[in-house]
Amino acid sequence: MQAVLIIAHKDVDQVIALSKKLSGKFKVIIHFDKKTSVSQLQRKMLNNLDVDYFSKVNVNWGSWSIGQVAVELMNHAMAYPDITYVHLISGQDWPLKPVDQIFNFYENNDKIYLRYYKAKGCRKGHDDIIYWQQFYYPFDVINRRSFFGKVYNRLSIWAQHLLRINKFKRLGIDLEIYSGANWCDLPRDAVQYCLQYFNNHSNFRKMLKTGSFSDEFWVQTILCNSPKFIPRLDYDYHRFIKWEHVHNSFPAILDERDYENIEKSNAMFGRKFESPYSDKLRKMLP
């Protein structure tokens, strides 16, 4: 059995439609942000689809909370001994291939489909992303997207540079730090290894919980430092994501104009899908 783990924070009806699309072939497990309201009718619909769903974490953009949701979902999935493979997607994803084709591609497949790269020397925007783990960020209590959060972020980075803060030395972290997209496809043994490492290394957890965008670091850093799993890593994570501003969103909300490029790709899932912009595209897909 394979499981699709969904990180959801909005558009509950779309998440239900996504679950209906997938639940005939996959075990669907959903975490709803604690701020998301799920009505009794929506709960009944999810129950009828035999979907597991829960809300444990109050999610804040840029904080470890998104990574904690992934941990919770993976722990929940591993409680099922017959789950052999998991797919981590968002509530704004949608399958781009027939569901049977997606399932068959990963069945009896031990590869790890994961975007990964060394954090040192990599920049995003104004930041060297290694500092997102080397420095301290309180984004579980400060909204990084707010004006105050943006100003605080710049001043904090400047101050920590000046003070030569190095969380790695303080915590005894001697790993090569890797980053990448949090969306991934993992066989059971890789999931178990990530969870075991996370649970057994308290200083690694402290690094993540006081970092920025740590959900994009934890799986990559664990697996890319493991000689056992490195040979099984595949950088092609089969996601179609358009890194442009479209429909007031970055990455883009996909619409029917993206159909031709989707058809040419080998992507299994695409994001972002949002009504009404993506409604016509959804109907065009299998």
Examine the pLDDT at 124 and tell me if it is beyond 90: no
Average pLDDT, integer, range 19-27: 97
Average pLDDT, integer, range 35-39: 97
pLDDT value at position 208? Answer: 97
Examine the pLDDT at 152 and tell me if it is beyond 90: no
In angstroms, the CA 76 to CA 57 distance is 14
Could you give the domains of the chain?
Answer: 2-109+238-284 (3.40.50), 117-180+189-232 (no CATH)
pLDDT value at position 30? Answer: 98
In angstroms, the CA 74 to CA 76 distance is 5
CB 13 within 8 A of CB 43: no
pLDDT value at position 143? Answer: 78
Which residues make beta-bridge pairs with 34? none
Question: pLDDT confidence of 127, banded at 50, 70, 90?
Answer: confident
In angstroms, the CA 182 to CA 241 distance is 13
In angstroms, the CA 81 to CA 20 distance is 23
Cα dihedral angle (221, 225, 229, 231), rounded to 10 degrees? Answer: 110
Q: How many CB atoms lie within 10 A of CB 126?
A: 8
CB 173 within 8 A of CB 204: yes
Examine the pLDDT at 73 and tell me if it is beyond 90: yes
Average pLDDT, integer, range 259-266: 98
Nearest to 211 by CA among 108, 80, 88, 65: 65
CB 90 within 8 A of CB 11: no
pLDDT value at position 183? Answer: 98
Which one-letter amino acid corresponds to residue 159? A
Cβ-count burial of 236 within 10 angstroms (0-12 exposed, 13-18 middle, 19+ buried)? exposed
Examine the pLDDT at 187 and tell me if it is beyond 90: yes
For 210-245, write each residue's pLDDT tens digit. 999 999 999 999 999 999 999 999 999 999 999 999
Vertex 258 angle, CA 252 and 262, to 5°: 110
- pTM across the whole model: 0.95
pLDDT value at position 83? Answer: 98
CB 233 within 8 A of CB 262: no
**DSSP string of 123-168?**
EETTEETTHHHHS---TTTS-TTSHHHHHHHHHHHHHHHHTT--HH
Side-chain half-sphere of 63: how many Cα atoms within 13 Å? 17
Examine the pLDDT at 142 and tell me if it is beyond 80: no
> Could you tell me the two tokens for 119?
């954090």
pLDDT value at position 20? Answer: 98
pLDDT value at position 175? Answer: 97
CB 146 within 8 A of CB 127: no
pLDDT value at position 179? Answer: 98
Percent of the chain with pLDDT over 70: 100
Strands in the chain per DSSP E: 2-8, 27-32, 52-54, 85-90, 94-95, 112-113, 117-118, 123-124, 127-128, 178-179, 184-187, 233-234, 239-241, 269-271
In angstroms, the CA 234 to CA 260 distance is 25
Examine the pLDDT at 126 and tell me if it is beyond 80: no
Mean pLDDT of the chain: 95
Question: pLDDT confidence of 204, banded at 50, 70, 90?
Answer: very high
